[in-house]
């Protein structure tokens, strides 16, 4: 009974988040379909993820390679898995081999991991993998991601030097207490302007991944305005 109650709470929470996304999008004069909600399921059991899946959600994220490797084979193949955060080069092969329905890596923070992903995608002959470049917008030394001043060069490397990767945009993870949230999001938005100018890419083709449960409404407003 307790497990069922927890799982029911997860579905209720998801519906509440989706409602908040719709409201934030409406305020910006846009549609909720313009926003992708990635349900990050780290440390959560497969049974709970399945409950959310059965409620209609298909996009899930994991922060740890071992977790996604363990969970993905136990769940439906039409899930769109996102790996979120720093990815070590020595774990790329095991990740891609175990999760054929990996839809995106969020995000690449150096050329070495980009090159490794590119090589492994080619070796296993899967379709090009969508990737986001991770930008450290809060300036925290403990956080992964390139400095905003370096994001153009890394995006160029992925777009022009990694034919098996599809550069899809930028991502950031702000401070845990949300204290730098507005600045983080505006910095990432400004990075998109610079990247798109350098790559001659339309801004609506360059995704921004930012915002967590406590600040995603602000992210939606900044992205869509």
When mean pLDDT is compared over 9-23, 153-167, 201-215, the highest value belongs to: 153-167
Region 137-147: mean pLDDT is 87
Annotate the chain with three-state secondary structure. CHHHHHHHHHHHHHHHHHHHHHHHHHHCCCCHHHCCCCEECCCCCHHHHHHHHHCCCCEEEECCHHHHHHHHHHCCCCCEEEEECCCCHHHHHHHHHHCCCEEEEEEECCHHHHHHHHHHHHHHCCCCEEEEEEECCCCCCCCCCECHHHHHHHHHHHHHHCCCEEEEEEECCCCCCCCCHHHHHHHHHHHHHHHHHHHCCCHHHCEEECCCCCCHHHHHHHHHC
pLDDT in tens, 56-68: 999 999 999 999 9
pLDDT at 44 over 80: yes
CATH fold of 9-222: TIM Barrel (3.20.20)
More confident residue, 138 or 123: 123
pLDDT at 179 over 70: no
Per-domain residue ranges of the chain: 9-222
């Amino acid at each position: 009974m307790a497990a069922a109650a927890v799982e029911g709470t997860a579905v209720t929470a998801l519906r509440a988040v989706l409602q908040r996304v719709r409201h934030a999008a409406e305020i910006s004069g846009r549609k909720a379909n313009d926003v992708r909600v990635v349900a990050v399921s780290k440390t959560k059991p497969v049974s709970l993820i399945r409950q959310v899946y059965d409620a209609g959600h298909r996009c899930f994220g994991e922060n740890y390679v071992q977790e996604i490797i363990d969970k993905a084979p136990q769940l439906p193949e039409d899930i769109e898995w996102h790996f979120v955060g720093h990815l070590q080069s020595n774990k790329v092969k095991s990740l891609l081999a175990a999760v054929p329905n990996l839809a995106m890596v969020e995000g690449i923070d150096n050329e070495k991991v980009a090159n490794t992903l590119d090589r492994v995608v080619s070796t296993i002959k899967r379709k090009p993998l969508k990737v986001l470049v991770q930008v450290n917008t809060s300036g925290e030394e403990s956080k992964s991601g390139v400095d905003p001043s370096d994001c153009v060069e890394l995006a160029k490397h992925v777009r022009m030097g990694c034919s098996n990767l599809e550069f899809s945009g930028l991502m950031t993870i702000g401070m845990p207490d949300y204290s730098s949230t507005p600045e983080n999001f505006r910095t990432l938005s400004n990075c998109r302007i610079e990247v798109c100018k350098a790559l001659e890419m339309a801004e609506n083709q360059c995704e921004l991944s930012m915002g967590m449960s406590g600040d995603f409404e602000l992210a939606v407003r900044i992205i869509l305005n």
